[in-house]
Amino acid sequence: MFVSGNLMSYAALLYLAFGIVAAVVLKYFVLSETIRKPKKNTILILGTTKSGKTTLWAYFRYHRLIPTQTSMEKNEVEKPIHCKEKSVVLHLMDIPGHPKLRNEFHDYTPITKGIIFMVNSSTLKSDIQEVGENLYDVLADKHVQKLEIPILVACHKQDLKGSLDRSDVENILAQEIDKLRSTRQSSLQKHDNDHGNNNGDGDDDADETTEFLGFENKKFSFEDLVNHVTFVESGTRYKNEDFGGFSDINEWVVELFD
């Protein structure tokens, strides 16, 4: 009986030790995953110059319209927002629209919850090439697609005469991206041929950060993207709304965190 009792005690100790080790290992993996996995609370505001990016950023920060000017540096702020069942600290970042600076957004995709792409609806027809190229670079970014980051296209400055509505903006941008897709694909194929990529002798880094948009042999459509793309209208004096004409944008942001 004495030996049997000792064996039972020994077995109990083994089970206890095993349980403690398992708990420690589990806690380690949970903590490691938490540390390794970045917190996604960032909303990037992108677009070309004079599209309304800084105005939107300032409104989120100060809850009022203030005079802004073209920025050559990023603006960022952390602000609490109230969702349906919780309060979230939002990291809002306005990336400059200058051609040499706008691609800085690549650095922040790992922590990005959503992207707001601002479009000046009153000048889109004349600015379509620049706006189209900027949006193409965002949509085709390998990390934006891999993480399936939701994108909101804000058809801004609806309060100005001659502004295009969101349906027209979507159609014009889709047509421009369809053209860009063809020209860039042709350019890439030419690069491959010139550098002997088909033989494994060339530079494989030419298109390492971008992905093909949509489906081959089919006209481009925003619906074919892995990212969910939403179009809304906005303006500083649009429809006399309480949120400075940005209510649809604010609603979209809140829904991301619900």
Q: For the chain, how many structural domains are there in total?
A: 2
Residues 144 and 26 in one domain: no
Chain-centre distance for alpha carbon 227: 9
Provide the b/e sequence for 207-239 (b: ≥16 CB within 10 Å): beebeebbeeeeebebeebebebbbbbbbbebe
Residues 18 and 43 in one domain: no
Tokens describing residue 202: 């060339």
Residues 20 and 52 in one domain: no
Residues 33 and 116 in one domain: no
pLDDT at res. 72: 80
Domain containing 119: what range? 39-257
Residues 133 and 227 in one domain: yes
Residues 66 and 158 in one domain: yes
pLDDT at res. 195: 55
Residues 82 and 5 in one domain: no
How much is the pTM? 0.77
Residues 206 and 232 in one domain: yes
Residues 224 and 129 in one domain: yes
pLDDT at res. 30: 38
Residues 98 and 9 in one domain: no
Tokens describing residue 17: 């030790």
Residues 89 and 207 in one domain: yes
Residues 30 and 55 in one domain: no
Task: Tell me the CATH number at 233.
Answer: 3.40.50.300
What does 7-47 look like in DSSP terms, one character per residue? HHHHHHHHHHHHHHHHHHHHHHHHHHHHHHS----EEEEE-
CA dihedral 135, 93, 110, 258 (to 10 degrees): -100
pLDDT 10s per residue in the chain (258 long)?
A: 444 555 556 666 666 666 676 555 554 443 443 344 567 899 999 999 999 999 999 988 888 777 777 778 889 999 888 776 677 889 999 999 888 888 999 999 999 999 999 999 999 999 999 999 999 999 999 999 999 999 999 999 998 989 999 999 999 999 999 999 988 876 665 545 555 554 444 444 444 567 789 888 899 999 999 999 999 999 877 555 555 688 899 999 999 987
pLDDT at res. 227: 94
What does the chain look like in DSSP terms, one character per residue? -HHHHHHHHHHHHHHHHHHHHHHHHHHHHHHHHHHHS----EEEEE-STTSSHHHHHHHHHHSS-------SS-EEEEEEEE-SS-EEEEEEEE---STTTGGGGGGGGGGEEEEEEEEETTTHHHHHHHHHHHHHHHHTBHHHHHTT--EEEEEE-TTSTTPPPHHHHHHHHHHHHHHHHHHHHHHHHHHHHHTTGGGT-S-TTTTTTB---S-TTS---GGGSSS-EEEEE--TTGGG-TTTT-HHHHHHHHHHH-
pLDDT at res. 69: 72
